[in-house]
Homo-oligomer: A and B are copies of this chain.
Amino acid sequence: MKVAIAGYGNLGRGVEAAVSAAPDMELSAIFTRRAPDSLKPATDCPVLPYSSIADHAAELDVVVLCGGSATDLPTQTPELASLVNVVDSFDTHAKIPEHFAAVDAAAQAAGTIGIISCGWDPGLFSLARVYAGAALPSGADYTFWGRGVSQGHSDAIRRIRGVVDARQYTVPVPQAMERVRAGEQPELSTRDKHTRECFVVAEEGADLAAIEEAIVTMPNYFADYDTTVTFISQEELNREHAGLPHGGSVIRSGALGLEGEFDTTIEFSLKLESNPYFTGSVLTAAARAAVRLFEDGQTGARTMLDIPPALLSPLSAEELRAHLL
């Protein structure tokens, strides 16, 4: 399968590594809106201007979009789906139905496949919620994220006056997870489930108390959480907080039996040293499924909930039945 990447940030690097490792894939091109010469890919893959994708679409089996959900993907995914099979990691939950419809229209018209919202949440966590809900219809779902870096929250801190750099960790509350695992089905507020840890580099002479106050009271991002702020040097930030780890757990707890007499708990969890490399690896598996669905004559938009699991694996259905079932 000839695979291309559109957009070369952390996620694009993750896809580059995953495609390079896949026995059934070849990385054909990286498309960028920046000057192609300015990119230094980790492999010897050619870098081409984003505007030239249409010229290359016929040689490609699938393009993995690695842009952001806020402004890139809403236009890029339908646009490219009208040329070639595509996969994206669109993660603005509230806008998924709208994005699905736009990609579906473009892909149906062009006879291509577009798989949206691949990754781990949405993605593997969504799958965990659907399987657990089907297997345990009477119960409650809990999703815990972290400990991991939230880039959106880190960016929000960086926009505060006097802040030079910042890293924000989302941290699940262990006591809340234990109550859920014990089958208590507790009612948990936002504050009960996660805390937020902020490591901040301030300008020299900045008003640290004012920065801290601006963070902990910020609506939507921090006001509803117990938030801690620690001021550190740029050197320490670079040394101790350079990574983008993440993870979390989807837990469903409920009961089976005519009288609800059998307690049941289902948990799916991830521990990731690199959020973008893992997301990139899931996108790559989804790209394989996109090509297989296309070769099967199917068209239109899909999510991971619509894809037979076997299509994600490089192994054949026979091999999976013999060895992994």
Contact = CB atoms under 8 A, between A and B. Distances in A.
A57 interface: no
A322 interface: yes
A264 B257 contact: no
A97 interface: yes
B320 A130 contact: yes
Given A272-B262, A274-B257, A305-B310, A318 B97 contact: yes
A303 B325 contact: yes
A135 B288 CA distance: 12
A257 B276 CA distance: 10
Given A96-B321, A325-B96, A312 B122 contact: no
Contact of A321 (B42, B135, B303): B303
B321 A281 contact: no
A324 interface: yes
Nearest to A305: B310
A138 B277 CA distance: 13
Contact of A127 (B43, B131, B256): B131
Interface stretch (A16-24, A107-115, A199-207, A232-240): A16-24
A274 to B, nearest CB: 4
Given A117-B325, A137-B281, A305-B325, A130 B269 contact: no
A318 B306 CA distance: 11
Nearest to A121: B325
Contacts of A288: 134
A134 B312 contact: yes
A66 to B, nearest CB: 15
Contacts of A266: 124, 269-270
A272 B262 CA distance: 7
Contacts of A222: none
Given A263-B273, A267-B270, A305-B320, 7 more contacts: A97-B321, A126-B325, A131-B309, A135-B278, A269-B269, A305-B309, A306-B317
17 contacts: A97-B321, A126-B324, A127-B131, A127-B309, A130-B310, A130-B324, A134-B288, A135-B278, A256-B273, A256-B278, A264-B278, A267-B268, A305-B308, A305-B309, A305-B321, A306-B309, A307-B308
**CB-CB nearest 10 A-B residue pairs:** A262-B274, A134-B312, A134-B285, A262-B273, A265-B271, A256-B277, A305-B310, A126-B325, A129-B324, A17-B258
